[in-house]
Amino acid sequence: MTTPPIGETRVTVLPIRTFDDPALRAVAEPVRDFDRELRRLVKALTATMRAGAGRAGLAAPQVGEPLRVIVYDYDGRAGHLVNPRLELSERRVVADEACLSAPGVWWPLERSYLVTARGRDMFGKAVTVRAIGMLARVLQHEADHLDGVLFSDHLEAGERERFLAAALPPS
């Protein structure tokens, strides 16, 4: 392994797990150590999220890391949350939603319109993110991944079957 030059960090773009991967069903563990490994993970998640067009969020379980970490970048607002807790508004809206673990498939889903997300940054400092509209949807979607919930789980049975038929390769 080569060492990067001083002041330069190599960031790896990680492979994203697909909907049929059982790792996406596991509940992620809370982060306890705000150390170099966590900072490396946040940077790798961010690089992986930004590696393709139209990507707005990513959760650590989607790259095989069972930790409660999400990153987001939508409409000029970018960041990350460690051990996030979400407060959801009662106002709900339906909009198309997609998942990097089911590339190319969009599906209408009802979510809360406004979210207040509280957590920590990669250094352990308290962070609060208030979001409306699509960014609120992104935060809810990524937080679901931390609990082993896929967005298709929110669909009614018939809709879920149609979504899964479109999202998963034939076996």
In order of 27, 79, 136, the CA distances from 109 in angstroms are: 22, 24, 13
Q: Is 110 a catalytic residue?
A: no
In order of 86, 89, 115, 132, the CA distances from 92 in angstroms are: 15, 7, 11, 11
* DSSP H or E run through 158: helix 157-167
Residue with tokens 């970048």: 73
From 37, 142, 156, 161, the catalytic residue: 142
* 83 Ramachandran zone, left/alpha/beta (phi>0; psi -120 to 50): left
Q: What is the spatial distance between Cα 86 and Cα 125, in angstroms, rounded to a whole number? A: 17
Q: Among candidates 89, 97, 45, 100, which has minimal Cα distance to 68?
A: 45
Catalytically active residues are 142
